[in-house]
């Protein structure tokens, strides 16, 4: 698990540095089979109607709002990791 920034409000969250390391190889492979490309920046940062729709969908899977909850079978992400992912989206999905 990567080190999380102490102050998420002040930190610029980076896809390559902060988000990609959160995904295990098995998560990447499993979701790829569902057409979700977790480590593809262009896919994850794609917008639909002004919203980061793919990143938002992944967050919904991570939080359990979409099923099956991700990562499949757990262990599920901590609140800190979920907050980091949300901060990445809120910060404009920086590369």
Contacts within 8 Å (CB) and 24+ apart, 67-74:
70/27, 70/31, 71/24, 71/26, 71/27, 71/30, 72/27, 72/30
Q: Which pair of tokens denotes residue 14? A: 């980076």
Q: What pLDDT band is residue 3 in, cutting at 50, 70 and 90?
A: low
Instruction: Locate the domains of the chain by residue range.
Output: 26-90
What is the pTM (predicted TM-score) of this model?
0.86
In this predicted model, what pLDDT tens digit does every residue of 40-77 receive, in sequence order? Answer: 999 999 999 999 999 999 999 999 999 889 998 999 99
């Amino acid at each position: 698990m990567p080190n999380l920034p102490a102050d998420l409000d002040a930190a610029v969250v980076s896809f390559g540095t902060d988000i990609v390391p959160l995904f295990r190889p098995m998560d990447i492979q499993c979701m790829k089979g569902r057409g979700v490309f977790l480590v593809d920046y262009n896919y994850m940062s794609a917008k639909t109607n002004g919203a980061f729709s793919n990143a938002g969908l992944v967050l919904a899977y991570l939080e359990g709002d979409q099923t099956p909850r991700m990562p499949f079978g757990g262990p599920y992400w901590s609140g800190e990791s979920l907050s980091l992912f949300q901060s990445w989206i809120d910060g404009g999905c920086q590369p």
